[in-house]
Amino acid sequence: MRRWSYEVRDGDLVPDHAFAWEEWRRFTGQVRDCVVDLQAQGKQVPCTWSGKKLNQLAIDHAFPWSRWPNNDLWNLLPCNESVNSQKSDRLPSSIVLKVAKPRIIKWWGMAYEDSILEHKFRDEALISLPGLQSESLSFESVFDAMMHQRTRIRHDQQLAEWNPSSIII
């Protein structure tokens, strides 16, 4: 232990910026651009939460930014502005996430599979979600890890859950 502390104190092992606090900013532009590009190609991108046609596009942080500032691609979902407003800073209930699972996985596939954002999606999921393995990473496994992280956030922060009756099964 003594040797370790001298190396850390005297050595250049830790970069100066390693412990710098980053000022987090809400950023959804990359995902918004992706939705707009897909729509320009004639692809239908429905509201992830309701399954309905996108009227006024909003990009939702599935896990509320106000409680878990995370702009990872897996956490950003296209939805209607009215749905996003209704959800606000609440955490989707496990039922809501399970019902939306096919739409979420379809969105991830449309947006990120074989795209320039695929590696970013994979890297962000591996870094921020529990239990993922790079050699067996799939959209299904990312969703399962997302469900696990939802449970952690709910337990640790006691967030209010969003459980609307209007979600389409």
3-state secondary structure (DSSP) of residue 80: strand
12: pLDDT confidence band, cut at 50, 70 and 90? Answer: low
Task: Give yes or no for residue 41 having a pLDDT over 50.
Answer: yes
- Long-range contacts at 24-33 (CB < 8 A, ≥ 24 apart): 24/69, 24/71, 26/61, 26/65, 26/69, 26/71, 27/71, 28/59, 28/61, 28/71, 28/76, 30/73, 30/117, 31/59, 31/73, 31/76, 31/78, 31/111, 32/57, 32/59
pLDDT (0 to 100) of residue 165: 74
67 has a pLDDT exceeding 70: yes
What is the tens place of the pLDDT at every residue in 95-149? 999 999 999 999 999 999 999 999 999 999 999 999 999 999 999 999 999 999 9
For the record, the structure tokens of 102 come out as: 């096919």
Q: How confident is the model at residue 1 (pLDDT cuts 50, 70, 90)?
A: very low
* pLDDT above 70 coverage of the chain, percent: 83
User: Can you read off the two tokens belonging to residue 125?
Assistant: 């999921």
Measured CA to CA in angstroms, residue 33 lies from 57, 58, 79, 123 at distances of: 11, 11, 14, 20
DSSP class of 136: G
Residue 26 tokens read as 């809400």
Q: List the end-to-end C-alpha distance of the chain, in Å, as a whole number.
A: 57
Q: What is the mean pLDDT of residues 25-43?
A: 92
Q: Where are the domains of the chain?
A: 26-162
Q: Read off the pLDDT band of 88 (50, 70, 90).
A: very high
- Using pLDDT thresholds of 50, 70 and 90, give the confidence band for residue 22: low
Give percent of the chain above pLDDT 90: 73
Structure tokens at 127: 């870094």
